[in-house]
Structure 1
Amino acid sequence: MSALTLSNHSSITAIPADTWDGLGDGNPFTTHRFLRALEDSGSVGRGTGWQPLHVTLEEDGQVVAAAPLYAKSHSQGEYIFDHAWAEAYTRAGGSYYPKLQAAVPFTPVTGARLLTRAPAMRQSLLAGMTRLAERGGASGVHVTFCTEAEAQAGGEIGFLPRVTQQFHWLNRGYGSYDDFLSALSSRKRKELRKERARAQAFGGTIRHLTGDDLKPHHWDAFWAFYQDTGSRKWGRPYLTRAFFDCLHQTMRDDILLVLAERDGQPVAGALNFLGPDAIYGRYWGCVEDHPFLHFELCYHQAIDMAIARGLSRVEAGAQGEHKLARGYEPVATHSLHWVADEGFLRALADYLDRERGAMGAEIEALADFTPFRKG
């Protein structure tokens, strides 16, 4: 077997875009252009607590695997919560930070994190990251929102799998929104029709913008929406204004902006990313409050577009049990965790064993609250 060489890179620009993207599956968030937009805009890097440390694995001089990796000095912007672990680690006399995070910053979207065309390379990549953590004094390695296959591969070499859950809308071959409604109970169909009618009567129009239809002034409007939502949820938005300019330059064909306008002025918007087989809802905001407009722009319009494009699902981001009533179903999401301290690793393994059982029961219970006809 040829020797494998692991390298780390302080910027995604050190890796050719075609090399990186050739290892991926088309998920927009792990593309070279998305990760570069984060770096070029200053959303990650110096002073943010997300220091790029991307890794590549070479065989015979060819890159055969890679992962988006960051040295973290906090646990913000991850959506797989380990704050209690950090507190316990500190109480035990250790330093939880820095840690290494194989993830897409600020993006709770499922997908491959161990990018390769050869699944056998996943474990080599993970093992290389543990060695990197040990050499650099990091407490451990965390791989968040990875695929189930990656979670299984990591579990076989000592990483601890964690199961959490999100709400996704699943396209079961619907030809129209009415086809989707026909799968729901009569009461739920009526409720959603009334909700959509009320939302669409806000006094304006709803537009879908993608590609060259997106103009700089649309990003000005969305920045105002994003700041409003960010200030209420996080205190300070994670992304910079320059990030959206980068999206316009390099990713506007990957974007679907659902914009509500009244009297010719944008009043609310939902930003989605388009993948090969999914729509990913990411950000929402408004400068005017209108009943049910949030649900219309974020959830119903995304379903409309997924059906029109023949996509298999809509991933609507983290949390939010209100999505159940709109036909979004609970699904398991996966992550991997490894810490260098053997005692803490054993304690964490016990905790995660119990948590997985509880999470499975929660997903099963939530499924009973979907609006679909029973039986």
Structure 2
Amino acid sequence: MGRLEFQSSFKNINQKEWNDLTKSNPFLRLEFFQSLEASKSIGEGTGWHPFPAIVIDQGSLVGASPIFLKEHSYGEYVFDWSWAEAYQKYGKNYYPKIASCIPFTPATGSRIFGLDLSIKKNIVVQIEELAYENKMSSSHILFCNESEKDIFGDPKWMLREGVQFKWFNKNYNNFAEFLSQLSHDKRKKIKQERKKIHDLGLKIKKIKGPEISESDLDFFYACYCNTYQDHHSHPYLTRIFFSLIKESMPENLLLILAYEGDHPVAASFFIYDDKNLYGRYWGSKSFYPGLHFELSYYQGQEFCIENRIVSFEGGAQGEHKLARGFEPFNTFSFHRIFDEKFELAIKDFLRREKTGIDQYTNELNERAPYKTELNI
């Protein structure tokens, strides 16, 4: 089965072995985690302490999971603030906690990796024991695949579901063919929004990773910071992070810029592989009607069609994505709470939440943007 170790950093892990084991989406590449750490986007002072699990057998990596010791719940997108408040109300500490996840990234994918099921199950057991033995409140596996439920041997791991939105490229030859599949109202709305951009005289440029310049990143990062400031918050990622991933994984990056004349005015940043496009960050220097939808959704959909990419995840939340061709899908996370009284209370909370999620998903499906016999 091999020897399991918890590391205090991602920097000394064998890059090729980690990537060969975790190759399910680009966020799981070791370069991504190493760039977060080297740029000080995670680590000391951030509340995100790297603690990756690795399993070594005969000198080779046979199991792994991106683990973090968390001092808060920022940047997770599975919201457990009310759980933390309940702990505090009763004089208990919710933090630190353990989370297997991708920082600041609500992208679904595997979180526990191993050459066989026994290795994966052992990693889960060790994550649980690490938290329990160190008197932590809980362990969490966030945005994992539903299929991973088989590795949670202890029934005390509680499943939590959420809803996100994904666009599927149904072998469209062009954007017009995609529009032709939408209901009349949705099709009309998108055409109107795109016409606004045309009438403003804005030009759009898609730039793949190898062609992205440092000045492009400077402009993008200023836009990225503006978005956080507009929401009275602070950016999680440092400027150097984007330079580091441009250097280490350029084939996975896409930057889309909008220009007024020769001057850039807005930017969207994406990460992708040959199957999936992930919308990540957006920002602008000033307001232009419809530009957010153009750069964050329509240009991404066009990129998928042009490059035969199967799906486009638009990021956390955003019911407005439904009107732009995205469809709802469920997300899955697993949670282990060690205090029995809180475990029972949270289990009841999740049961009631699940009822609401199911109802919400049904309502969204009833408002599907695609043609039916009733809405052609």
Answer yes or no: same fold by TM over 0.5.
Answer: yes
State how far apart, in whole Å, the 2-side matches of 1:170 and 1:294 are: 20
Deviates further, 44-53 or 189-198:
189-198
1:159 aligned residue: 157
Q: Mapping of 1:178-197 within 5 angstroms?
A: 178-197=176-195
Does residue 21 of the first structure (1) align with residue 19 of the second (2)?
A: yes
| Distance 1:237-1:325 versus aligned 2 partners, 3 A rule | same
**Cα deviation, residue 231, structure 1:** 1.4
Q: How many residues align?
A: 373
Deviates further, 299-308 or 56-65:
56-65
Cα pair 1:26 1:275 within 8 Å, conserved: no
Partner AA of 1:290 in structure 2: Y
2:252 aligned residue: 254
Cα pair 1:71 1:98 within 8 Å, conserved: yes
State how far apart, in whole Å, the 2-side matches of 1:33 and 1:329 are: 31
SS of the equivalent of 2:11 reads helix
Cα pair 1:154 1:160 within 8 Å, conserved: no
1:220 aligned residue: 218
**Cα deviation, residue 366, structure 1:** 1.1
Q: Could you say what the CA RMSD is over the residues aligned between the two structures, in angstroms?
A: 1.6
Deviation digits for residues 57-111 of structure 1 (CA, Å, limit 9, x no counterpart): 2344432211111111111111100000011122233210000011111111111
1:266 aligned residue: 264
State how far apart, in whole Å, the 1-side matches of 2:63 and 2:199 are: 50
Q: Mapping of 1:60-209 within 5 angstroms?
A: 60-154=58-152, 157-209=155-207
**Cα deviation, residue 177, structure 1:** 1.3
Partner AA of 1:300 in structure 2: Y
Partner AA of 1:115 in structure 2: F
Q: Mapping of 1:331-370 within 5 angstroms?
A: 331-370=329-368
2:32 aligned residue: 34
1:298 aligned residue: 296
TM-score norm. by structure 1 comes to: 0.95
Cα pair 2:24 2:109 within 8 Å, conserved: no
Unaligned segments of structure 2, at least 5 residues: none
Partner AA of 1:158 in structure 2: K
TM-score norm. by structure 2 comes to: 0.95
Unaligned segments of structure 1, at least 5 residues: none
**Cα deviation, residue 252, structure 1:** 2.0
Cα pair 2:124 2:151 within 8 Å, conserved: no
**Cα deviation, residue 182, structure 1:** 1.6
Deviation digits for residues 234-263 of structure 1 (CA, Å, limit 9, x no counterpart): 511111111112122112221111111112
**Cα deviation, residue 153, structure 1:** 3.1
Partner AA of 2:333 in structure 1: S
SS of the equivalent of 1:187 reads helix
Deviates further, 237-246 or 190-199:
190-199
Cα pair 2:112 2:120 within 8 Å, conserved: yes
**Cα deviation, residue 146, structure 1:** 0.8
Q: Sequence identity, in percent?
A: 37
**Cα deviation, residue 168, structure 1:** 0.8
State how far apart, in whole Å, the 2-side matches of 1:298 and 1:362 are: 24
**Cα deviation, residue 27, structure 1:** 0.8
SS of the equivalent of 1:239 reads coil
| Distance 1:368-1:229 versus aligned 2 partners, 3 A rule | same
**Cα deviation, residue 188, structure 1:** 2.0
State how far apart, in whole Å, the 1-side matches of 2:277 and 2:253 are: 9
SS of the equivalent of 2:166 reads strand
1:329 aligned residue: 327
Cα pair 2:206 2:256 within 8 Å, conserved: yes
| Distance 1:150-1:294 versus aligned 2 partners, 3 A rule | same
SS of the equivalent of 2:152 reads helix
**Cα deviation, residue 295, structure 1:** 0.1
